[in-house]
Amino acid sequence: MSYTNSKKEKVLLIDGHNLFIRCWSVIPTLNDNGDHNGGTFGFLRSLRRLIVDHRATKVIVCWEGKRSIHRRKKIFSQYKINRSIPKRVVRAYDFEETPQNQLKDLKAQLHAVQQYLHLLPVYQLQVEYTEADDIIAYLASYRFPEIEKIIVSNDKDFLQLISDNVSVYRPATKITMGTQELLEKTGIHPNNWLIVKTIEGDKSDCIPGIRGVGPKSILKYFPGVAESDEITTEKLFTICEEQSNINKTVSYKKIIAGKEIIERNYKLMQLTNIDLSLKSIQHIDDQLKIQKPKFEPFQLRVRFIKDGARDQVQSFEYWSNTFMPLNYRD
């Protein structure tokens, strides 16, 4: 598959729900009809900005599939159990919101985003029983070899996928993280980001870690996390066994005692060894072949007008200049 420009190839792999929820939560705008549209147009403006800033030549938006957390729920029943509708920061308008109408509004705006993307030269991928994380991990690790890939998400789990041709852009901080950036900011090499997180746990996904062993302790007692050599769970336990015999540090003993927690967390968090069925992989590969993303400027303009989005759109020329070069051809 080729496209109409000769720029250096760059693929944006966008965590769709992650970006949408951020826009929906913090952008309180209304359209001409008095309906909320901050999530929808915040997402679209962010998408346009991402393409321009990163000079992307291909864009793939990945969504959570139906029953997406089913597999990880079987590993740990409390996985994402406390996930709820995020609080929306409403700064510009005075109106009453209930959890019910918030959920209704969220679903409506999310549906609108997906419909808009059908008018843009953007791939959309969604697989039943599969989280967007796993789709992105597969694409980053096994598709588009030798091509630069930029994962767009605030989810720190993706930092384990950083490599020579994979980086992570975090919209919340507006920082692109490569190996050097991650080392400078955290003191952790991407190859060992996963083992650190298995110890720490992840509150956002309701995954408890080893109590009393935090980031400072991990960096102090496991300096190897700054190196490129991967510390596997087996190597971690070996280090703890050896050190606990000569060092009375409690952290080593806590990790040994929490072996089941570490092993469970590794299964929940790891994205480096793709845990997808052959059917799911085939579906992803087929969709990349079947979908023919195309820019539909006339239909897009009509949709903007229908949705009363004049204030959000501004110059339509900006949209055309951004998306027209992404038109793909067989």
Which residue intervals of the chain bear CATH 3.40.50.1010? 7-185+274-329
Domain 7-185+274-329 class, CATH top level: alpha beta
pLDDT band of 328, cuts 50, 70, 90? low
Q: Distance between CA atoms of 21 and 109, rounded to whole angstroms?
A: 10
Asked whether the beta carbons of 303 and 44 are under 8 A apart, the reply is no
Residue 3 has what pLDDT?
39
Mean pLDDT (the chain, rounded): 90
Q: Is the model's pLDDT at 5 over the cut of 50?
A: no
> Cα-flanking dihedrals φ and ψ of residue 198, to 5°?
-65, -30
- Which pLDDT tens digit goes with each residue over 291-317? 999 999 999 999 988 888 776 777 888
Is the confidence at residue 6, as pLDDT, over 70? no
The hierarchical CATH code for the domain 187-269 is: 1.10.150.20
**Ranges for all domains in the chain classified under CATH 1.10.150.20:** 187-269
The residue-averaged pLDDT of 232-236 equals 97
Structure tokens at 236: 């971690």
